[in-house]
Amino acid sequence: MFGAIQFLNGLSYGLSLFLVAAGLSIIFGVLRVLNFAHGGFYMLGGYVAYEVVRRIGMEHGLFWVAVIVAGVVLALVAAGIERFMLRQLYNRDQIYQLLFTFALVLLIGDVVRIFWSTTALSVSFPPELRGAQNLGFTIYPRYRLFLCVVGVVAAVGLWLLFQRTRWGRIIRAATQDREMLSSLGVNVPMVYLAVFAGGGALAGISGALAAPALALRGGMDAEIIVECFIVVIIGGLGSLWGAFIGALLIGQLRAIGITFVPEWEIVLIYLLMIVVLVFRPWGLFGKKQAGS
Amino acid sequence: MTKSYNALLLLGVTLLASTVAGSALAQEGEPIRVGVAFPQTGAGASQGSDTALGIEMAIDEINANGGLLGRPVEMFWRDSKGTPADATIAARDLITLDNVDFFLGGYNSGETLAMSEVALQEEVIYVAPVGKTIQLTDNYHPYQFRIAANTNTEGGSAALILEELGAQKICTILFDYAYGHDLLKGFEKALESAGSDAEIVTQVWPALGVSDYTPYIGEVLNSDCDGVFSGIWSGEFLAFAKQASSFGLFDMGKHWAAAGEVGSQDIMEQLGADMPNGIWTNSYEVWYYPDTPEHNAYLEKVRELTGSEHPNPWPSVGYIGMQALAAGIEAAGSTETDAVIAAMEGLSFDSLVGELTIGGEGDHQANRGQYWGVTADSEHPFKVLDEVRYVPADDIMH
């Protein structure tokens, strides 16, 4: 039972992490922008959900309204950022885009501080998913099981999107050759906008979903972005499959680490990152790039 | 010629006046300058502001009653920002730029130790109303006085409570940094002094600042302990409590002593119904206990100043710190540093939590105990502490 619980701990942690890291990976794959502000989107999603819950309560079904609102708000915010700010920087050196997304981190942090102060805030579990579920071989919190399901559904959904739909084909083409795509008559700027907004929405939704299980406070953006970076380094930037496997690996390493070598738990994860960087620097599922 | 003579006269008078003002023998009406260094910005901003408010309240009361030694008290507040580096700057600026005669401050252990260092270097009295770390008194020097309960008291109180509840096998959940390790030391010391045959069977050490406690919770679930001692404090407890609840950890009938002041009104309000029932925890102060004239007078003022019907305990922390300093100055009959130090050693004074006695030379620690109670439902949208009692510090603080 203990092994089952720790395995499920690692699994739920990994799948929640995947939800956030997927957006980061896809944004990089298409726009070639490493979005430092992704952690800020996650944090903002959590706070927006808190605000909605504060106003409409937590009766049956209302938490999902908060999650959807968080997604919509973040999609709009991300779209606005892409259309009016990031777009100006595509023709410039990559460093400007990096600096810009970093500036966004500080900006979003301050916005959160202004509206919600620095006190730690709490959102309850939705009543539909409180308590623990008896799985036969062990009992496990319902909400975390739900997050596992969401993670898997998101992974499958995104895979289907990219592999089986026209939109997906266009996005995949954009990662490979944007000039060719443009000359084929596709509105590439629109694709960029959609991907950035979509990635932002995904981050916002994962922040809202994560909120009941933790405390909302300053610094959670820095915390999550570091984890996301490790995921995409290990899994490979731009690869959905890489983000999935990378996140799951980190989740399990953490659970195993805390159980068997508690003082070295954090080291295990960084060790894996170093090993990957030494032997396969483009990540487990990344593509070897000729120039960069 | 007259012009330059007047200028010279003016210069001379100014110089004379400033020398007189700066001398230790201040005239009647010359304000006593008290510095306050708590976070105005950053993570501890709201608690820092509330603590400073409590100090301000105490000072306003003193001034309304004719001041200290017949002199008004003036407060200077600088932002320590929650980090040792900024705390050092704030303390130093208070001393060199604001010319304070004494200062209070230190929201967390790092700040407290940094400010103590400044006090030693500048030879100005520093009163620590919040910082608990035992390292403060371990690194003793005469210019520091600690009015807060220390980690021996906190860990020791938890041990006494678990002993009373009859816990035999204990799990500890403590942050892997100075505070957590100091708590464990205090806990073990008290268990030994009490002649307890309880033993610690499982120790988990989450890193400070993690947001996912589930693997640590898993370890506790896997243990056969019947009692738990946790030191997950304040804001960190929000995430921990929710996660542990969802595993049913609080429904397993384990006796629980939670250090870290999670019985604080602000934490109770944030968690609401998510606060588990039946766990013993502490708070610097609770608005519903004790029902004494002094406490009620304090509450009336705090309610007016904060506009909150159910104030959090932070103003009381600052208030008591200022009470200690004021008592010391009164007892010394002067603001001269060495005189006040001598007066404060062994001083007993009336505080919001009853009579406190400050330790003598080599110690300078007030025998401040803690309020502990067991979490329970109430008619409010937040839980409260039942069976609140003041656990005295005298036997466990050293």
pLDDT digits over B86-98, tens only? 999 999 999 999 9
- Establish how many alpha carbons lie within 13 A of residue B156's alpha carbon, considering only the half-sphere containing its beta carbon: 25
Q: Could you write out the three-class secondary structure of chain A?
A: CHHHHHHHHHHHHHHHHHHHHHHHHHHHHHHCCCCCCHHHHHHHHHHHHHHHHHHHCCCCCHHHHHHHHHHHHHHHHHHHHHHHCHHHHCCCCHHHHHHHHHHHHHHHHHHHHHHHCCCCEECCCCHHHCCEEECCCCEEEHHHHHHHHHHHHHHHHHHHHHHHCHHHHHHHHHHHCHHHHHHCCCCHHHHHHHHHHHHHHHHHHHHHHHHHHCEECCCHHHHHHHHHHHHHHHHCCCCHHHHHHHHHHHHHHHHHHHHHCHHHHHHHHHHHHHHHHHHCCCCCCCCCCCCC
List CB contacts (< 8 A) between A117 and chain B: 45-46
Contact B218 A124 (CB under 8 A): no
Contact A266 B221 (CB under 8 A): no
Interface-testing mutation among B172, B202, B214, with chain A (most A C-beta atoms within 10 A): B214
Quote the pLDDT of residue A94.
Answer: 84
Q: Does domain B152-288+371-391 have CATH number 3.40.50.2300?
A: yes
Quote the pLDDT of residue B23.
Answer: 46
Q: How many CB pairs under 8 A join A and B?
A: 103
User: Has residue B21 got a pLDDT over 60?
Assistant: no
The whole-angstrom distance between B185's CA and the closest CA on chain A is 19
Does A130 touch chain B if contact means CB atoms closer than 8 Å? yes
The residue in chain B having the minimum alpha-carbon distance to the alpha carbon of residue A214 is B239
The domains of chain A are located at: 23-217
pLDDT tens digit sequence for B300-312: 999 999 999 999 9
Structure token digits, residue B104:
């209070």
Q: The whole model's pTM is what?
A: 0.89
Residues 6+ apart with CB under 8 A from A39: A20, A105, A203, A220, A221, A222, A223, A224, A225, A228
- pLDDT tier for residue B127 given thresholds of 50, 70 and 90: very high
Contact B46 A118 (CB under 8 A): yes
Contact B43 A118 (CB under 8 A): yes
Residues in B 129-148 with any Cβ partner in A closer than 8 A:
none
The whole-angstrom distance between B365's CA and the closest CA on chain A is 30
Query: What sign results for the dihedral spanned by CA atoms A157, A163, A169, A171?
Result: positive
The dihedrals phi and psi of B327, each to the nearest 5 degrees, come to -60, -40
Quote the pLDDT of residue B255.
Answer: 97
User: Has residue B340 got a pLDDT over 90?
Assistant: yes
Residues in B 150-209 with any Cβ partner in A closer than 8 A:
176, 204-205, 207, 209
Does A127 touch chain B if contact means CB atoms closer than 8 Å? no
Q: Are B392 and B160 in contact (CB under 8 A)?
A: no
Nearest to B224 by CA among A267, A2, A96, A209: A2
Quote the pLDDT of residue B365.
Answer: 95
The whole-angstrom distance between B241's CA and the closest CA on chain A is 9
The whole-angstrom distance between A244's CA and the closest CA on chain B is 19
Quote the pLDDT of residue B18.
Answer: 54
- Name the percent of chain B lying above pLDDT 70: 93
pLDDT tens digit sequence for B202-214: 999 999 888 999 9
List CB contacts (< 8 A) between B216 and chain A: 258
The whole-angstrom distance between B207's CA and the closest CA on chain A is 9
The residue in chain A having the minimum alpha-carbon distance to the alpha carbon of residue B271 is A122
**Please, what is the average pLDDT of chain B?**
92
Q: ω into residue A281 within 30 of 0, thus cis?
A: no
**Rounded Cα distance, B13 and B19, in Å:** 10
The residue in chain B having the minimum alpha-carbon distance to the alpha carbon of residue A252 is B215
User: Has residue B153 got a pLDDT over 90?
Assistant: yes
Does B212 touch chain A if contact means CB atoms closer than 8 Å? yes
Quote the pLDDT of residue A292.
Answer: 41
Query: What sign results for the dihedral spanned by CA atoms B232, A214, A265, B218?
Result: positive
Contact A122 B212 (CB under 8 A): no
Quote the pLDDT of residue B5.
Answer: 66
Of A132, A219, A262, the CB nearest to B246: A132
List CB contacts (< 8 A) between A212 and chain B: 242
Q: Could you say which DSSP state residue B134 is in?
A: T
User: Has residue B9 got a pLDDT over 90?
Assistant: no
Of B209, B215, B273, the CB nearest to A259: B215
Crossing angle of helices A188-210 and A142-164, in 10° steps, is 170
Burial A59-95 (b: 16+ CB within 10 A, else e): eeeebeebbebbbebbbebbbebbeeebeebbeeeee
The dihedrals phi and psi of A157, each to the nearest 5 degrees, come to -60, -45
The whole-angstrom distance between A38's CA and the closest CA on chain B is 18
- ipTM, two decimals, is 0.90
The residue in chain A having the minimum alpha-carbon distance to the alpha carbon of residue B42 is A118
**Rounded Cα distance, B88 and B104, in Å:** 13
Which residues of chain A are under the pLDDT cut of 70? 289-292
B118 vs A182, more confident = B118
Query: What sign results for the dihedral spanned by CA atoms A32, A37, A39, A45?
Result: negative
Structure token digits, residue B155:
């860990």
Of A119, A132, A262, the CB nearest to B247: A132
Quote the pLDDT of residue A287.
Answer: 77
Of A117, A214, A254, the CB nearest to B215: A254
Contact A119 B274 (CB under 8 A): no
Q: Which CATH number among 3.20.20.80, 3.40.190.10, 3.90.550.10, 3.40.50.2300 corresponds to the domain B32-149+295-368?
A: 3.40.50.2300
Determine the 3-state secondary structure of B356 from DSSP.
Answer: strand
